[in-house]
Amino acid sequence: MEARPNDSDYAELKSRTVLAGLNQALVALSKDNTQRLISRAAEKMRNRQEDAAAILNRLRELNPAVADRFQPKQTALDALAVRMIFPHDVLSSNDALDVPSYIIVSYCWHYPDWPLVPAARAQPLAPGWEISRAMVDAVMGLRQSPLEGVWLDKLCINQGDEEEKQRHIAAMDLIYQSARRMAILLEDVQLSEAETNAGVTYAKFYQDLSDEIMNRGLEGQAKSDFMDEYFPSMEREYRSAGLGHLIDGVKDFAMNILNGRWYSRAWCAHESRVAPHQRINNPLLLCFGHDGRVLTFEFRFVFYLAIYLHNQEPEPSAEDGVASAFTLLDTMVNPNPETLSQLRFRIQSLYGVEDPGGSAMQHVSSILAFGCFKKGDLMSIALNTAGIPLSFSGDVSGVEDVIWMFSVLVMASNDLYPLLLTDKSMSHKLRITDPKDPTRKLISWVPIINQGIADDRVPEMSPGTITAVAGDYIELDLLVFKASPTNASPEAQKAASEILEENQVEALAGEIAQAADAGTKRNRELMSATMRAVGRERAGPMAVFNKVWLAHALDCGLEWMLRFPDAMQQDTSDPSWIHGPMGESKDARFANTAEAVLRHFFQSASPEEYQYQCSEHLGTMIRSLTTLFDPRLPFFTAAPRRLPLGNGDHAFVASTSNRAYVAVPVAVAHLPAHFKREWNIEPFDPLAEPENLPDDHLPDLTKVYPRDAKAEDVFPVLTSDYEDRRAPRDDSRASWRLRRRGDIFGFTRGKAWTAPVKEEDFPRDGEVIYLRRQRVYGAEDYDWGAIRAAWPKLKLEPETTTEEGQAA
């Protein structure tokens, strides 16, 4: 079937009115030619039409209004019309074009506030293309044959036809995947002479390096060693030959070319991620040299150079690493990269790595780092890069709507990862527009997400436990703990201190931590530095971590301690736990401590009974203590609090508020401990007045309090270490608000916690109950920094004195 008349009419109009002066023409390809060009990329999408129908059906169950915004992607592919640019003389010698391949252009549209470099302004912009004439000539020069076309979105798509634009947006991934090569235009980058010399020289280094690896067939360690040494050896050779001026500008070259505006735009990131990045026909970056010539550099070379230069920089200290981590975290969601490290991260994020097992959430989280004028396009970009066989129509009010709607879509695609997302910070949750009142903002149950989600997708194993999802709430089945988390008892802490001191456990634990692998030590350093940064001069939980953990273990009892290593081994043997398995080994240096612990449990037993118990349990107790003092245990929480599970078992979570219940969504209850399964929730009336944080949760600092006042009567909210102030559950209303998420661990996931999780395994009189169709709304977490800061500001009644002058 030939191209539709309006396709040809638009092409003829553009050829006549804007391209004639360039001796170029815009041609509407036949439908058959179009399908041949994109056939390989489109085949995968055609094979997923059943998936598209299943996702839409599940989406209609969860949220019919959201489902109406999506359509099967195949609908757009069937109606796709493709046009391409050719030199005009090609048309005169070919009556019917049969295009075998094409170059595709990735670039930033021009806007008045975006300055071009002098070389780009040296000539008027090319009409139709609306980019610098030198770049147009360079792109046309990349064609390998007379019949090879060029595709440029602004010219090849009829920008006045909204339906056509939507079809192309839906198919944009296939169009870029199918091109022979992508040309990336950096019209805001012009190199100095030193930068030009360095760029050209290091590009030759890289090409020679690649050729040598291919010619010598290097693989594995031999390849790595050769690559590590090649650039340094060439630098030494150039300097010894008096050619240092050709390489001195290399860092300035990298910083200049990596700072192009192209790297910051969402559609450019999309185009880079979906385009092939193979060794042959690798994407080309085009920029201007110092003399105005257009220079080309392979994308893979610039990426490799960024890594190489970044690796030459000194590793930051733990404190600097904390600052860098927070800076990089901010860069992920609001990018203003300045350092080479941040720029390297950004170009790395532009590689499209296909990960069939990865969660689709990483595609929406990573695209939020890039600018996009029309926020609804972020949804389309995430759909395309994730390979979800749907297209999106319309626009959204902001990035926040993209996040929560994409989360619903991901869950409809049989991936429950949105239930496990953690907040960017403990407060400042995702706020969405109230569909009933556009002037009002609602807090979503979905958190503000960070870039870099790398975990695998989480398929639904307990079907029917999620029944509705909206922007501000999710309706699902919950496992709710009746008790509030508690700290170790004073008696157990005293006993633990004595055991640690008598057996010099702190010193031994320090030796073990020092002997840990580099990754573990680095993570512990960062944890400690973060706590120092947050707590200022206060001693943080890491200072008493070993004592608190041993005290908890003593409170839990012998049976729990004997089960603990198996529980941790079960949870950390999962490949998605990146720190290595725990609970497998036993360190004989804990033998004396193990005997002391057993003596604590059998202090009233006869010597014969104690010896018997030692012979029965000493090996397992050594293994348990090896696990308790494993330097990786703080990665779950540095401030553990205990929850009874029933039958002598206990779970551990981080400290919660004294208003919160601990809950676990049934849909993810079966997962290993390092997944953020634990939710801090509070009974909630959605019809009540909204909170006024933090004012509703801080003491009245104008009031004078009695000196003997209980802290719970002064502070509206405190941690769970204080008196329980939780509101009673209202199972008939079945609505909650979600304060924060965290880890829950330390217990063996037996039958009850194995998918599919069943209600009958959680009796109503147990420590954990199963509640169906609970509606959980979003809420801010408490401002714990403000709560801590309020303590020294409290006004207390003056001390009274007795007749003898003593304070009463």
Same domain, 275 and 379: no
Residues 6+ apart with CB under 8 A from 2: 30, 31
Model's pTM, two decimal places? 0.89
Q: In this structure, what token pair is assigned to residue 60? A: 């209609």
The torsion angles phi and psi of 603, rounded to 5 degrees, stand at -65, -25
- 173 three-state secondary structure: helix
Residue 438 lies in a domain: yes
The region of weakest confidence among 82-96, 455-469, 528-542, 718-732 is 528-542
Residues 6+ apart with CB under 8 A from 294: 134, 135, 137, 138, 286, 287, 288
Q: Is the pLDDT of residue 804 over 90?
A: no
Looking at residues 382-406, what average pLDDT do you find? 92
Whether residue 658 contacts residue 723, with contact meaning beta carbons closer than 8 Å, is answered with yes
Same domain, 502 and 576: yes
Task: Supply the range of the domain harboring residue 390.
Answer: 361-459
Higher pLDDT, 336 or 446: 446
Same domain, 638 and 695: no
According to DSSP, residue 590 is labeled: G
Residue 801 lies in a domain: no
Same domain, 625 and 513: yes
Question: Residue 316 — very low, low, confident or very high, per pLDDT cuts 50/70/90?
Answer: low
What secondary structure, in 3-state letters, does 398-410 show?
A: CHHHHHHHHHHHH
Residue 474 lies in a domain: no
Same domain, 765 and 675: yes
Amino acid present at 95: D
Query: Mean pLDDT of all residues in the chain?
Result: 90
Tell me how many domains the chain contains: 4
Residue the block writes with tokens 């706590």: 531
| CA separation for the pair 450, 362 (Å, rounded) | 9
Residue 556 lies in a domain: yes
Structural element, H or E, at residue 1? none
Question: Residue 451 — very low, low, confident or very high, per pLDDT cuts 50/70/90?
Answer: low
Same domain, 119 and 241: yes
Whether residue 670 contacts residue 753, with contact meaning beta carbons closer than 8 Å, is answered with yes
Residue 109 lies in a domain: yes
Residue 648 lies in a domain: no
Question: Residue 89 — very low, low, confident or very high, per pLDDT cuts 50/70/90?
Answer: confident
Q: pLDDT tens for residues 36-82? A: 999 998 898 888 999 999 999 999 999 999 999 999 999 888 888 89
The region of weakest confidence among 225-239, 241-255, 689-703 is 689-703
Nearest-5° Cα angle at 129, 126 to 133: 30
Residue 417 lies in a domain: yes
Q: Is the pLDDT of residue 332 over 80?
A: no
Same domain, 313 and 168: yes
Same domain, 307 and 395: no
Q: pLDDT tens for residues 7-44? A: 778 999 999 999 999 999 999 998 889 989 999 988 98
> What is the model's pLDDT at position 325?
47
Q: pLDDT tens for residues 608-645? A: 999 999 999 999 999 999 999 999 999 999 899 999 99
Q: Is the pLDDT of residue 334 over 60?
A: no
Q: Which of 643, 673, 698 is the last residue of a domain?
A: 643
Same domain, 608 and 695: no
| CA separation for the pair 472, 400 (Å, rounded) | 11
- Rounded (10°) angle between helices 518-535 and 505-514: 120
Q: Which of 621, 643, 665 is the last residue of a domain?
A: 643
Same domain, 371 and 511: no
Residue 70 lies in a domain: no
Looking at residues 151-177, what average pLDDT do you find? 94
Same domain, 512 and 581: yes
Same domain, 139 and 192: yes
| CA separation for the pair 233, 235 (Å, rounded) | 5
